Amino acid sequence: MLSHNKEHLLRQREDTVTREDISVLKNDWLTDNVISFWEEYLEREYLTNYKHSHIVLLRPTMSFMLMQTPDPRTIKDALPDFTNVTHIFLPINDNHSASIAEGGTHWSLLLVSIVDGVAFHYDSMPPGNQNEAHYVTQKFSRLINRPLRFIQLTDSPLQDNSSDCGVFVCLNMRHLLLKRLLMVRTDAKVSMSLGGRRVDASAGRKEMLRIIEEFRREGERRRSISNSPHPGRKSKSPPRIDSPNTRAKSNEPMN
């Protein structure tokens, strides 16, 4: 049974969701963990189906490291290889102190198109993180040794409270990935504007909670199978009589 907030509820290949993350996802400001989980979910459920795509969903910790490091080339080995990458999604946070875990008060989304030499910034509470996103763009330009033009998209969907910014980042990221980058011909010209798009943050929170719960149940099922003394082996014992007494004593599955 879970005993405290930091108990791991769900662990994927890289990203861990805790009880605290579940709590904030219901109606509060999203944590790094939740956004990281969402990025891995998009990678596993969608990006893996597009073998020829070269798109990177950079984790919030990596985006923060990029913003905090004076010379981004010094952390090149800690970042993905961007040699053949066409687009990078970066969650941007306004935390300026490396000593404050889960700091900051606002999330926004930066989409870098290396092939076009452009960085698009989507902010649900403008001007919001415009300066931070511009700064990260400059750092990234230096990292890949290519010029990048920064564009603040002023027609991005707007939140109507102070806590939905992370949800907007997650939902806009999925929309841009699936509807703008993966679902069109490679030679097509795509508008990256989200003007006129409506974001239902409440429904988004419920969907993300449902997805996490589905993964948690699947994880429990797999752990149950792996912890079985003889996973996958069929019993060679004769069938037992189906009665309450023998059912309680028997460890054999009923057929």
Residues annotated as catalytic are 106, 123, 165
Tokens of 92: 């941007």
Name the token pair of 134. Answer: 């511009």
Q: What are phi and psi of 62, to 5 degrees?
A: -70, -40
Written as six digits, the tokens of 40 are 């891995």
DSSP tag of 252: S
Q: Output the CA angle 149-194-148, nearest 5 degrees.
A: 10
Q: CA–CA separation, 25 vs 8, rounded Å?
A: 15
Radius of gyration of the chain (CA): 22
N- to C-terminal Cα separation, the chain: 31
Nearest by Cα to 72 from 150, 138, 132:
138
| Edge-to-edge order in the sheet of strand 55-57 | 55-57, 87-93, 107-113, 118-122, 149-152
Could you write out the three-class secondary structure of 50-109? Answer: CCCCCEEECCHHHHHHHHHCCCHHHHHHHCCCCCCCCEEEEEEECCCCCCCCCCCCCEEE
